[in-house]
Amino acid sequence: MFGLGTIVWMKALMILSSQSGRHMSQKKIEKVKKELSESFEQLDVYRISDMAEAEEYARSKVSEYDVYLISGGDGTFHHIVNAIAPMDNLPILGYIQSGTICDVGRFLGVKRKSRALRIIKEGYCDEFDLMKVNDAYALYMTAVGAFSDISYKTSRRAIRAFGRLAYYFRAVFEAFRPRKTKASVRIGENEFEHTSPFFMILNGPYVGGFKVNGRSSQNDGLAEYFDTTPSLFNGLVHYFFHYKINRVPSSSFVIQTEKPMPWSLDGEMRFVSDKAEIEILHRKLRVFTQKPHKNS
């Protein structure tokens, strides 16, 4: 953990999504630029029109900026991180959340949008672990099986109409469709086979807005594997009451399913495969975050 104090020497790029649940208006953008103008020597703005184009742009500008300020939902942050994670000398990241659930904000200690700009101006940074999943990256969640597709299968129209409830409606729908996934699992040096509605690796406390993994740390070099046995509502009830859940921390995991399946990384469908190899990259990202309490 470290603080940067006055950061007026830095050049920053603000990457804006217009697809998130509560994206910033032009008036708000100008207000944010004015508020941050005293913190950065240079502050440029890039509006995302296409996510693939945004990833390429983010990669091409890494050497030109000290800071990337990302405004959007979990998906926006995920895509920008995936664009730059394989590179060296990454910029410091700032997050201005404008999504619907914002598990990324909870993970990074930027729990409220109203606090985001103050956190950036204070200039305090921490280092966070990142999961490398095959050739992709996930900040807080890797999952396969039931419920893993909720984020990207919920329609934008439903999200605009109902907000986070749209995701929960989808979860209820999936809870009544029995699912079983058989997989061979390796955690560290231990191997076993298991059948579960879904398999999940969490690198942090929250998923879907719920605190599922309260004993976790975001920068201890470990993530936590979760599974449960097939049961009523695809095992979801076990997570509400925290029982009959298998939870195992490790720095490496391999999950091999019987057939190729879509894998969800931070709520984004990243690839289809029968195998995911997960490695924890210790303290890979530097991020503006809230200062710790003095008594912590």
Same domain, 112 and 143: no
Task: Report the pLDDT value the prediction gives residue 4, as an integer from 0 to 100.
Answer: 56
Average of per-residue pLDDT across 154-158: 84
Of 94, 110, 128, the position where a domain reaches its end is 128
Q: How many domains does the chain have?
A: 2
pLDDT at 153 (0 to 100): 85
Residue 161 has pLDDT above 50, yes or no: yes
Residues 124 and 233 in one domain: no
User: Is the model's pLDDT at 2 over the cut of 70?
Assistant: no
The pTM (predicted TM-score) of the whole model is: 0.90
293 belongs to a structural domain: no
Asked if 121 and 152 sit in the same domain, the reply is no
Q: How far apart are alpha carbons 133 and 255 in whole angstroms?
A: 11
Question: Are 70 and 46 spatial neighbours (Cβ–Cβ below 8 Å)?
Answer: no
Element (H, E) at 33: helix 26-36
The CATH number of the domain holding residue 27 is: 3.40.50.10330
Between 74-84 and 51-60, two packed helices, what is the crossing angle to 10 degrees? Answer: 40
Domain co-membership, 166 together with 227: yes
Please tell me whether residues 268 and 174 are part of one structural domain. yes
Mean pLDDT of 149-167: 84
Residue 102: φ, ψ to 5°: 65, 55
Within 8 A by CB and 6+ apart from 22, the residues are 98, 99, 100, 113
Q: Closest by alpha carbon to 72, among 48, 99, 93, 51?
A: 99
- Binned at pLDDT 50, 70 and 90, residue 8 comes out as low
Q: In the predicted model, is pLDDT for residue 296 greater than 50?
A: no
pLDDT band at 32 (very low <50, low <70, confident <90, very high): confident
Residue labelled with tokens 């749209």 = 166
**Is 295 a domain residue?**
no
Mean pLDDT over the full length of the chain: 89
Q: Are residues 255 and 154 in the same domain?
A: yes
**Domain region containing 245:** 136-282
| Confidence (pLDDT) at 25 | 73
Tokens of 161: 């109409």
Domain assignment of residue 296, yes or no: no
Rounded to whole angstroms, the Cα distance separating 79 from 151 reads 14
Question: Which tens digits make up the pLDDT trace of 127-148?
Answer: 999 999 999 999 999 999 999 9
Position 294 in a domain: no
Find residue 12's DSSP bridge partners: 43, 67
Determine, yes or no, domain membership for 20.
yes
* 202 lies in the same domain as 277: yes
Same domain, 140 and 278: yes
In a domain, 107, yes or no: yes
Residue at which a domain ends, from 73, 101, 128 = 128
Tens of pLDDT, residue by residue over 164-212, are: 888 888 888 888 899 999 999 999 999 999 999 999 999 999 888 888 9
Least confident of 82-86, 105-109, 217-221: 105-109
214, part of any domain: yes
For residues 120 and 68, give the distance between their C-alpha atoms in angstroms, rounded to a whole number: 11
Residue 55 included in any domain: yes
Shared-domain flag, residues 123 and 66: yes
Same domain for 165 and 117: no
Predicted local confidence at residue 295, as pLDDT: 42
Tens of pLDDT, residue by residue over 41-91, are: 999 999 988 899 999 999 999 999 999 999 988 999 999 999 999 999 999
pLDDT for res 238: 85
Give pLDDT, residue 64: 96
Domain finish residue from 112, 128, 144: 128
Q: Are residues 191 and 88 in the same domain?
A: no
The CATH number covering residue 238 comes to 2.60.200.40
pLDDT at position 203 is 95
Tell me, yes or no, whether 179 and 45 share the same domain.
no
Q: pLDDT tens across 261-293, in order?
A: 999 999 999 999 999 999 999 999 999 998 875
